[in-house]
Every structure is written in structure tokens, then in C-alpha cells.
Amino acid sequence: MRKVFRCFVIWRLALFIPVFIAGYFTTARTGYLFTNPWANFDGVHYLSIAQNGYATQAVFFPLYPLLIRFFSFGRAYLASGLFVSNLAFLLTLIYFYKLLILDYPKKRSFESIIYLLVFPTAFFLGALYSESLFFLLLILSFYFARKGEWLLASVTAMLLGATRIIGIFILPALVYELYIQKKNIKEGLSLLMAPIGLVAYSLFNYLKWGDDLYFIKAHGELGNSRSVSAIVLFPQTIYRYIRILLSLPISQYEWWIALLEITIFIGVSLLLYFAWKKKVRTSYLIFSLLAFLLPVSSGTFSGLPRYVLVLFPIYVALSYMSRSFRKAYLIFSAILLFILLMFFSRGYFVA
């Protein structure tokens, strides 16, 4: 555990370097939601919800802003949000390692931690975003389930549904986990609690906006071409991205973001397939596949480089790659993380 803690500290301190350099070499982008290098775009909304409650930001689930408000002593909401995110991510790394060593040698488990830390958008796990809290609850749900502590697994699953919409996909994953453990059905009755987080937020949507599914419809109001009324098969989305890459000038910032988004889609698709080939635990893959298919079936890959952060089987899959591939991943991904954080810290949309 000491190695994991040291890695977190080194990672967290290293992230200040691109933010510092960006102040000298990157012009801040105007006209975008920009408050702080660690609280851009979604972070602005989370701060607003924590301070003032909901206006129309239904796409942002309540657990994370509630925790920001709870820890905001002296109304220090920004500091509170960063505290919650970074503490959650540290705990994520610790329990991720504990979860992995149930199935893998310590060396492979630790390597998977490293591949997570250098993922191109890993900096979101230390920013004022809900990803780290969601990741922690996800790992805890599986960890408690693997230990046979189904009540705790159900409580964390319930909280997961109050953090992000894809949290509901933990339910089929845990039901399958219960099945393969050959437990008595009575031991899994607590899983009936799992949907409560999402159902409670749906009820809040009805009381607040008169529509219990407004948190879904609100995604269509973000201006990112995301479909909320129909499933868009991802081959159509790939075709759309090819047209974008062929029509936009390569000098335009959005061209590079489009390239990043489609590359992440292809890369993660292959890694999930490889994880299945390497027999990564099926319950983990059930959650990951469903959580991957939801955003890629919406007609856009916008935000995907961030959304896939929590699909932890991809880091296990990376640990099975050839030594040369793993070295290339570490170098290329670390460089990309550095560059993306520079732009994100200056108000440029990354994911």
C-alpha cells in the first residue's frame, strides 16, 4: 500500500507541472466555462450546485455536489471539491489494488495502477469532477461483493446511482457476481437497494422540473449533438467523425479533439475485447461494456476520453500487452496527458 500511496503523491505533484507551464505557453480560451485550472466546464456546474442548489443542471447527479457542500467549511467550495476528488481517488487506488490482487499477482496489479495514472485524461480524477468519487464507489461495490459483504456492496451501488447515470449498470454486474459465487438468493436481497439512488434522483427531477427523466433530456440541451431520444449505432458515428476529420482544417483545435475521441473509441474497444480474451472477471466486463455502449450509442464520442476512465478492465488488459507496447503506451500516454492538461487548465474543452 505504501507504493500505491507514493505513486499517488508523485502523480498529484507532477500534475502541477503542465498547469504551471501552460500559464506561460498557452493562451487562456475565452467564452467558455472557466473558473480555475482544476474546475473547468463541469466543475463550474458542480460548484454552482453545491453553492446554490439546482437551476437547470440536471445532467449533473447530486452526490458529488452534496459532498462538496458538506466539506465546504467557511464556504470554501473549490477547496472542498478538490479535497473530495483527490481523497476519493487515493482511496480508489488503494481498493483497486486490493481488488486486483484477489485475482492477479502483485506485480501485474501494481502495473495496472500505473497504466491508470498515466492514462491521457487521468488528470480528471484529481480535478473538480465526479469521476474519482464514481470510480471509488464502483471499485468498492465490486470489492465488497467479492468479499461476500453484500449489504455494503449494495449501499455503494446505491450511491453509485446517485453519482452518474451509468451507475445503474452495476446492478446486472453484481447480480451476475452473486450468481457465479453460487450464493443463496437471500444473501443478495440487499441488491434491491441498488436502484434507489437513481430512482431518488428521478423523483427529484419530477418534483423540480415536472419530468422524472429530465436528467436524460437535459443532455440534449448541451449543444454537443448527443441524441437522447434514439439509439445511434456507432458505425454511423464513426462515419460522422471521418467526415469531420476530412472537412476540418488540421490546424483547428477541434480537429485534434475529434481525432482524440475516435482514437479513444477504437483503442478502448480493442482493450475491452482483449480483456475478455484474457478472461478478466465477467462481472467487471458486464459493467464496463454497458457503461461504454451507452455514450457511444448517442451519436457522438464527445466526452468519451473522460468517460472511459472508470472502465478498469482496460488497465488490466494493458498489463498483458508486450513489453514494447507497454513502454510505448507509458511514454505516449504520459506525453498526451501532459498536453491535454495544459489545454484543459487554460479553458479548452478536452473531454
Q: Tell me the three cell numbers of residue 199.
A: 430512482
Alpha helix stretches (DSSP H) within the chain: 2-14, 16-25, 42-52, 63-70, 77-100, 106-117, 131-146, 150-161, 170-180, 196-209, 214-217, 234-247, 253-277, 282-296, 304-307, 313-319, 323-344
- pLDDT per residue over 154-167, tens digit each? 999 999 999 999 99
Whether 40 and 34 have beta carbons less than 8 Å apart is answered as yes
Whether 305 and 350 have beta carbons less than 8 Å apart is answered as yes
pLDDT at 228: 75
**pTM (two decimals):** 0.95
pLDDT at 106: 95
Residue from 229, 166, 228 nearest 197 by CA: 166
Mean pLDDT of all residues in 246-250: 94
pLDDT at 74: 81
Residue 34 has pLDDT above 70, yes or no: no
Residue 187 has pLDDT above 90, yes or no: no
pLDDT at 217: 87
pLDDT at 301: 95
Phi, psi of 40 (to 5 degrees): -95, 160
User: How far does Cα 207 stand from its chain's mean position?
Assistant: 28
Distance CA 15, CA 328 (A): 20
Distance CA 345, CA 326 (A): 28
Mean pLDDT of all residues in 199-223: 89
pLDDT at 78: 94
Mean pLDDT of all residues in 8-18: 96
Whether 165 and 215 have beta carbons less than 8 Å apart is answered as yes
